[in-house]
Amino acid sequence: MEADLGSYRDLVKGVKIFADGSFGGRTAALREDYNDTPSRGILRLNSEEIYRVAVKAYERGWQTAIHAIGDRAVLEVLKTVERLPKGAMRIEHGSLVPPDLLDYVSKLKPEIAVQPHFILSDTWIEERLGERTKWVYPFKTLIERGATLMGSSDSPVEPINPWLGIYAAVNRGCPEKLAICKHTIHEKLSFEQALELYYRPTKKHPSLVILNITRPPETKKEFAEIKATKIICRGRIHEPRTVKRENKA
């Protein structure tokens, strides 16, 4: 934080720190033991430690992005958000959010960057969390509670294609018959809601993206094949670039 950034200072927009680990490695910090291991994961930073970093970042005009997956980590981060100016901190992931933390979300209305494709890749989530699976990746409820959600991929861990993330948010693993579907089918987003996670133009920066579809897609293959045919941003027309990527449809 104290490093001399020189000419790069204007390029720095924020900092990222980690409050815990992952569900896969059983290092996400939980308030109760994992369903398949007598462990509650690892809390890397408590709310006071997070606050000290976030304040220093805010003084420099930077936003702090804080990785928090387990409910214990999410609680510590929400405690910090409550002490900071609006917009000073963004939660990365915010994966396990039980009802009491949803009430906290209603009060604070935080920014949360979510990665919908985790729904498809975390095939073992019920083994890790048991009944708590019903509180994982609650996108619809978070939106209803006033949180500002932003979609991202978590690439290279997950596919970079945003349409696969949108597919996951809309279908919740139900076509794949994943366990998370039966626990969280009520959290399905509409196509329009899922699209807004990734594309939200403002009056200050209006834009328009024209797609190669005439109706909302249904199958994973249809989602993966969506492409932009024209992009209009700040009055300029941009032709989409061709990027080689693996859709994993």
Confidence of residue 234 (pLDDT cuts 50, 70, 90): confident
The residues that bridge with 209 in the sheet, in sequence order, are 231
Answer whether residue 132 shows pLDDT above 60.
Answer: yes
Nearest by Cα to 44 from 27, 56, 65: 27
Nearest by Cα to 96 from 35, 52, 163, 157: 35
Answer whether residue 218 shows pLDDT above 60.
Answer: yes
Answer whether residue 245 shows pLDDT above 70.
Answer: no
Cβ neighbourhood burial of 204 (10 Å; 0-12, 13-18, 19+): exposed
| Per-residue pLDDT reduced to its tens digit, 174-191 | 999 999 999 999 999 999
Which pLDDT score, from 0 to 100, does residue 248 have? 52
Whether this prediction's pTM lies above 0.85 is answered by: yes
| Per-residue pLDDT reduced to its tens digit, 8-55 | 566 778 999 999 999 999 999 999 999 999 999 999 999 999 999 999
Mean pLDDT computed over 112-116: 98
Mean pLDDT computed over 134-141: 99
Helix (H), strand (E), coil (C) string for 52-91: HHHHHHHHCCCEEEEEECCHHHHHHHHHHHHHCCCCCEEE
Which pLDDT score, from 0 to 100, does residue 150 have? 97
Centre a 10 Å sphere on the Cβ of residue 75 and count the other Cβ atoms it contains: 21
**Cα 170 to Cα 93: distance, rounded to the nearest angstrom:** 18
Range of weakest confidence among 28-32, 68-72, 195-199, 236-240:
236-240
Mean pLDDT computed over 140-152: 98
Which pLDDT score, from 0 to 100, does residue 235 have? 81
Which pLDDT score, from 0 to 100, does residue 207 have? 85
- Helix or strand run (H / E) with residue 128: helix 125-129
Mean pLDDT computed over 107-119: 98
Query: DSSP character for 242?
Result: P
**Cα 187 to Cα 130: distance, rounded to the nearest angstrom:** 18
Mean pLDDT computed over 233-245: 73
Mean pLDDT of the chain: 92
- The angle formed by the CA atoms of residues 160, 164 and 166, to the nearest 5 degrees, is 115
Residue 63 tokens read as 């936003």
User: Domains of the chain by range and CATH?
Assistant: 6-202 (3.20.20.140)
